[in-house]
Amino acid sequence: MGDVSHPGDDRHHGAFVGALRWTEVERRISRGAIGVLPIGAGAKQHGPHLPMDSDQVQVEWLARTLTRDFDILVWPTLSYGYYPAFTEYPGSCSLGESTFADVVTEILQQLRRHAVNRVIVLNTGVSTQPVLENVTAAQPDTYLVNVYQGPRTRTTSRAILQQIHGGHADERETSIMLALRPEAVTAENAISWDHPMMPGRLRRHDQGDPNYSPSGITGNPALANAAKGRMLLEAMLDDVSTYLRRISN
């Protein structure tokens, strides 16, 4: 019967490659679709009140929403990465720095071999950022977008967040998850731990360490609400959309 994977005029809409046949992926690449590689931890502690895949939930929401307005091809989320700060908390997984760099490099090289001419790496992490800066700088027409670092997102965060310190599983992340997946948030466990997160590993047991946090929280998630989360998500989406429009021209 031939290839029936053409869903009409979809030039202004993106798709996840996992839902397509390879012939449709090829067709979209040939017309110039921008590749997107989401990176968001699927197994990283987010305190006793948020699921461990909170980063993955956020980055996949962004990617899914972007497909409504942009001709992009979204590859499966890389849910393992370089997250050494969280390995004292059961369930949290981290690749080594060089392993993570090699994995991302190989994925990007394979996209390049398939003639994907422009790629955006959507990153939700902090410890992943320096590694990804080096990796993307070595690849042509590959752009790193750190979703919490856009100008509107930073401005919105300063305007609405009330916590003294933040850093992880805090007011910001909890607000976003309340907006995206409220049923996964156990608000009664959202305790305040208003200490600054220092460079290095969070410590679950060592009370003398400056990064001591028995819950894995740094910040005050008790201040979170879904309205703040929706404002933050709107800002993040606007920042990434602005970047996509810039490289699309």
Instruction: Assess if residue 6 is contained within a domain.
Output: no
Number of domains in the chain: 1
35, 111 contact by CB (below 8 A): yes
Give how far the C-alpha of residue 38 lies from the chain's centroid of Cα atoms, to the nearest Å.
Answer: 6
Residue 124 lies in a domain: yes
- 94: Cβ contacts below 8 Å, ≥ 6 apart: 81, 82, 83, 84, 86, 87
Is there a domain that residue 5 lies in?
A: no
Whether 4 is in a domain gets the answer no
Look at residue 173 and tell me if it is in a domain. Answer: yes
Residue 9 domain-assigned (yes or no): no
How close are the terminal C-alpha atoms of the chain, in Å? Answer: 37
Q: Which two tokens stand for residue 181?
A: 């997946």
In a domain, residue 205? The reply is yes
Tokens of 7: 């869903």
Q: Which residue type does 5 have? A: S
Domain that holds residue 221: 15-248
Order of strands across the sheet that contains 72-74:
15-16, 72-74, 34-39, 119-123, 142-146
pTM: 0.92
Q: Whose CA is closest to 126, among 152, 146, 96?
A: 146
Q: Quick check: 135 and 187 in contact, CB under 8 A?
A: no
The reply to whether 26 falls in a domain is yes
Helices (H), the chain: 22-30, 54-66, 97-113, 128-137, 151-160, 171-180, 226-248
Per-residue pLDDT tens, the chain, 249 aa: give them. Answer: 333 334 445 666 999 999 999 999 999 999 999 999 999 999 999 999 999 999 999 999 999 999 999 999 999 999 999 999 999 999 999 999 999 999 999 999 999 999 999 999 999 999 999 999 999 999 999 999 999 999 999 999 999 999 988 889 999 999 999 999 999 999 999 989 887 777 889 999 999 999 999 999 999 999 999 999 999 999 999 999 999 999 987
Cα–Cα nearest to 33, from 117, 105, 103, 101 = 117
CATH number, residue 66: 3.40.50.10310
